[in-house]
Structure 1
Amino acid sequence: MIKSLRFIAAFLLFAFLSPLSSFANFDFNANCLNAYRSIFELKLGNAKAYISTEKKLRPNNAIIPLLENYVDYFTLITSENKADFDRLKGNKSSRLDKISDDDKSSPYYLYAQAEINLQWALIRGRYGEYFNAAMEIRKANNMLQDNAKKFPNFPLNAKGLGLINAVLGNLPDGALKSTLATFGIRGNLQNGLNMFEKLADNLPKSTYEPFYDEVVFYYAYVLTDVAHSSSAYSKTIKYTERIADSSLLKSYLQSYVCIKTAHNDDAINILAKKPEGATYQSFPYLDYLEGIAHLNKLDLNAATYFNRFLQTNKGVNYIKDTNLHLGWISLLKGDKSGYTSYIAKATNSGYTYNEKDKQAQNEAAAPVPPTDLLKARLLFDGGYLTRAAQVLDDKKTADYNTDKDKTEFNYRMGRIYDDLGKDDQALTYYQSTINQGRNLKYYFAANAALQMGKVYEKKNNKVKAKEAFNTAIGMKNHEYENSIESQAKAGLRRLN
């Protein structure tokens, strides 16, 4: 409570000391603070009510357009709805106009404009609007760099700059990266991670403590999806601990990272206890995550969560992937006609904006997977390594008929032994995967080379690690090519 009052007082001090009294204030008062906190608990209806009150009391408060943009941003993240995106993106210009007429002597003047640009860049990237996203990242980066020079002691500059550095520092080759490179904008992943860690450690001790949840939101994303860090789980759990249990965003962050890092039972427990009720924003993706978590344990009741996701989802993402998973459930039940039906839906329904759905489309076109390989894959993803090993314990490469299945068998065994800490066995299977699948379109061989590089890096064998990373980079025209290549290049940078 005391920290909150100090935070509000700091903003009011800025307002009264402003030499341009004709301009509106950047006044993060109690209404605005409540709106901001509601946004980061995913209580967007409450946030809108606080913003509406603030508009009536202080219509010229320049924090209002920033808060409104946060609401749109999280509406789009939770809905994944393309129609919402097309409808809401027109709000950006008017909000920037309102802020640009305000107090240039405030550290929030450039910061707020940069935040709005950056939020829209992140959303546009989901729908392939890479050129516009690049322009917005450029504007945000320039504004934050300028703001850091003008206000070097304003810590929030590091939030946006940390995100830009981290994402650009590990961005796969493509339209967005090449466009930004023409403007001389390049990132550094480690610098970005350092900025976030410093903020996460120091904000709770400062008057900027209310921004803590947002910093952790982005930090967890960077650790998990950008850096693919081995400490993503431990740091996410550590830094989200102080976030209130009433935050649905906390449940999302923790469960997402748990699933991505093979802490599957944790994810199931977190999602079972997530806060619910009419005050929270609808978030169908959490049903999808719950389905993934249960299926990773070979709990075929996962179909309940996947079907709920399809019933409530109004977005464009994860439709193909959900139908693929429902197909797998049918296959594991021995229901071949059900499998065929869901695979047809995975092929013909949904969109391919994100990597999961692109991969689902590829897998729907592939031959039916052997159930033992499918079980081992799911159990491995959940972190159930002993069970996964037992499924394949009496198998060998010759037991499989196709090059795809032979390659996948070696890959699955390599991954299991790798995570069990049995490096020599893992390396043997990874090499067999590369030999068998080097010229196939599947990701197994390229990812085996990437993982082999990481094993050698851990062993401090730099020559072999570089060789493996370069092997991964040299393989082309396979699934997840951009992601695998960017991780291999990051490995080479670490070694250099």
Structure 2
Amino acid sequence: MTQRFAFLILTLLLGLPVRSTAQSKFIMSTRVMDAYQDITSLKLAIGQLKLNEAKISESNNAMVYYIENYIDFFTLFIQEDYNSYKKLLANRDKRLEKIKLGDPNSPYYLFCQAEIILQWATIKLKFDKKISAASDVYSAYKLLEENKQRFPNFVENNKSLSIIHALAESVPSWVRNLMGIKGSVAVGTREIEELVQYSVKTNSIFKNEIIAIYSYILFYSNNRKEDAFRLYNEYKLDHRKNPLIAFLKSTMAHNTGRNDLAIKILEERPSGSQYLPFYYLDFIYGKYKLYRLDRDAKSYLIKFIDNFTGQHYIKEAYQKLAWCNLIIDNDVNSFHKYMKSCSLYGSKLIDEDIQAYNEARSEQVPDPILLKARVLFDGGYYVKAKQLLEQNTTKYANSINDGEFYYRMARILDALKSNNEALKFYDITIKRSDPSRYYACSAALNAGLIYEQAKNYKKSTSIFQSMP
């Protein structure tokens, strides 16, 4: 009798449990689908309860662990709590091990592994773990490419592969060559479009997620902003039932010049204890209200600062709070108070926070009228911004200034498609602005773009080459 056989007999006699060696299946059961819908609506606790039930009633279903990873992803991506990150990171490998016990002949075998790895790569970027994140992206890419070769008709493979392909062009060529990542915006767009059609036709459980990815690729990689925004109404993605859709739709509404609509979307978003707290929505709500010069804007910025546990947008929130006090309340003392907080709190990992920090370090008080014009411009209220500057033209035309007045007027006229007038003010900006400020450089760039769009390539090239 061999030792292994003896152990088996002893186990049976003692009634001890024997670890099952049966392969797990990948089944999108009703309970798992319900959990996915809850989780992607940020009702994480409810989704977790359903997955816990599935772990008992569907103990051989590896899909449970793939869907469960969304909980950690949304928790960490939205709340950015570093202590939670350190605690939850171990779940990555545990879930991958569960997936690897599944049926290797299923198209979901490599797909689920790749998706989990890619989700954690995104989280690692949030916490500035760039090298580890890059390694994860490469690992996910190789798994997805292998899965595409093995299962060419498995269209859902494009869900993440399309993102990697679309973003590949933004990566330096030497990095792409080193890592062997191939792709382009055109390839990624074609892949996600194919998947959208498939998901609509089959009413895929991933349909909303796929459409959200499609909108992202159209908006940021193809500069087709209007097409991206229209998707939310075309496919009836309801922001009143899902905070994530409210986030995406309001952001794109604002970035397409629909600031009032962005505010309305955020006001209609669902709330309650069943949803994961999403304080970033309070931040952008306060910011969008600032752009409209609403007096209550600062209360939402304060709510974000007081509750958010992450590291991003803290400095920008203090900056915007300082702006509220300066241009709405005319309170210079509070402006200085919040700009000091801007220099002390938060990180400098993203452009918005770096710009806010640099402004705070300068210890300069912006001209309230010009800052108000800038804020109105950022909200897409171009006519109001133009009227404000026109009312104060004499004040700035007859005084020595750093060129900001001319720059602000040029940007506003540019946005209003008054190209000839915009070019005049861009020219004045280049000639009169303070060389230490960014106005002349930005004016030259924007003037060059106007000439380029008019196919006056000789003039645009001349301006680009003369940029300070």
Alignment-derived partner of residue 88 in structure 1 = 88
In structure 2, give the amino acid aligned to 1:50.
K
Instruction: Choose 1 or 2 for highest CA Rg.
Output: 2
Output the CA distance in 1 between the equivalents of 2:463 and 2:48: 52
Contact 2:239 2:246 in 1 (8 A): no
RMSD of Structure 2 on Structure 1 (CA)? 2.6
Alignment-derived partner of residue 395 in structure 1 = 393
In structure 2, give the amino acid aligned to 1:274.
R
Shift of 1:428: 3.3
Contact 1:306 1:326 in 2 (8 A): yes
Distance 1:161 1:355, change over 3 A: same
Output the CA distance in 2 between the equivalents of 1:75 and 1:450: 40
| Deviation larger for 85-94 or 423-432 | 423-432
Output the CA distance in 1 between the equivalents of 2:448 and 2:211: 30
Q: Does 1:372 align with 2:350?
A: no
Q: Does 1:37 align with 2:37?
A: yes
Contact 1:40 1:213 in 2 (8 A): no
Output the CA distance in 2 between the equivalents of 1:273 and 1:83: 32
Contact 1:240 1:254 in 2 (8 A): no
Shift of 1:349: 1.0
* 1:295-374 superposed matches below 5 A: 295-332=290-327, 333-366=329-362, 367-374=364-371
Gaps of 5+ in 1: 1-20, 476-496
Output the CA distance in 1 between the equivalents of 2:177 and 2:444: 28
| Deviation larger for 431-440 or 297-306 | 431-440
Cα distance per residue 1:368-409 (max 9 Å; x no partner)? 111111111111111111001011114276556453xx1x33
In structure 2, give the amino acid aligned to 1:371.
P
In structure 1, give the amino acid aligned to 2:230.
K
Q: Does 1:61 align with 2:58?
A: no
Q: Percent identity?
A: 34
Alignment-derived partner of residue 185 in structure 2 = 189
Output the CA distance in 1 between the equivalents of 2:303 and 2:69: 29
Contact 2:229 2:253 in 1 (8 A): no
Distance 1:86 1:259, change over 3 A: farther
Contact 1:450 1:469 in 2 (8 A): yes
Output the CA distance in 2 between the equivalents of 1:375 and 1:346: 20
Contact 2:374 2:408 in 1 (8 A): yes
Shift of 1:58: 1.9
Distance 1:224 1:83, change over 3 A: farther
Contact 2:239 2:269 in 1 (8 A): no
Q: Does 1:427 align with 2:418?
A: no
Distance 1:445 1:210, change over 3 A: farther
Distance 1:230 1:461, change over 3 A: farther
Output the CA distance in 1 between the equivalents of 2:340 and 2:365: 13
Contact 2:410 2:423 in 1 (8 A): yes
Distance 1:39 1:381, change over 3 A: same
* 1:213-224 superposed matches below 5 A: 213-224=208-219
Alignment-derived partner of residue 202 in structure 2 = 206
* 1:85-484 superposed matches below 5 A: 85-171=85-171, 179-207=175-203, 209-231=204-226, 234-239=229-234, 241-243=236-238, 245-332=240-327, 333-366=329-362, 367-393=364-390, 394-395=392-393, 398=397, 401-403=400-402, 406=403, 408-434=404-430, 440=436, 442=438, 444-462=439-457, 464=459
- Secondary structure of the 2:69 match is helix
Contact 2:239 2:265 in 1 (8 A): no
Output the CA distance in 2 between the equivalents of 1:150 and 1:471: 53
Distance 1:168 1:435, change over 3 A: farther
The answer to which structure, 1 or 2, has the higher relative contact order (CA under 8 A, 6+ apart) is 1
Contact 2:216 2:228 in 1 (8 A): no
Output the CA distance in 1 between the equivalents of 2:36 and 2:119: 15
In structure 1, give the amino acid aligned to 2:374.
R
Cα distance per residue 1:256-300 (max 9 Å; x no partner)? 112223211001111111111111111001110110111001112
Distance 1:326 1:101, change over 3 A: same
Shift of 1:365: 2.0
Output the CA distance in 2 between the equivalents of 1:468 and 1:107: 53
Distance 1:54 1:299, change over 3 A: same
Shift of 1:425: 2.1
Normalised by the length of structure 1, the TM-score is 0.82
| Deviation larger for 303-312 or 458-467 | 458-467
Output the CA distance in 1 between the equivalents of 2:303 and 2:143: 43
Output the CA distance in 2 between the equivalents of 1:219 and 1:438: 43
Output the CA distance in 2 between the equivalents of 1:471 and 1:70: 50
Contact 1:79 1:283 in 2 (8 A): yes
In structure 2, give the amino acid aligned to 1:118.
L
Output the CA distance in 2 between the equivalents of 1:350 and 1:219: 32
- Secondary structure of the 1:380 match is helix
Output the CA distance in 2 between the equivalents of 1:400 and 1:270: 43
Output the CA distance in 1 between the equivalents of 2:68 and 2:106: 20
In structure 2, give the amino acid aligned to 1:200.
V
Normalised by the length of structure 2, the TM-score is 0.87
Output the CA distance in 2 between the equivalents of 1:218 and 1:232: 13
Aligned residues: 444
In structure 2, give the amino acid aligned to 1:30.
T
In structure 1, give the amino acid aligned to 2:341.
K
Contact 1:107 1:147 in 2 (8 A): yes
Output the CA distance in 1 between the equivalents of 2:205 and 2:465: 44
Cα distance per residue 1:124-170 (max 9 Å; x no partner)? 22222111111111111111112112222211121212111222323
- Secondary structure of the 1:254 match is helix
Alignment-derived partner of residue 27 in structure 1 = 27
Gaps of 5+ in 2: 1-20
Alignment-derived partner of residue 481 in structure 1 = none
Output the CA distance in 2 between the equivalents of 1:470 and 1:97: 56
Alignment-derived partner of residue 15 in structure 2 = none
Output the CA distance in 1 between the equivalents of 2:100 and 2:466: 50
Output the CA distance in 2 between the equivalents of 1:230 and 1:86: 37
Shift of 1:343: 0.5
In structure 2, give the amino acid aligned to 1:123.
I
| Deviation larger for 67-76 or 241-250 | 241-250
Shift of 1:106: 0.9
- Secondary structure of the 2:273 match is coil
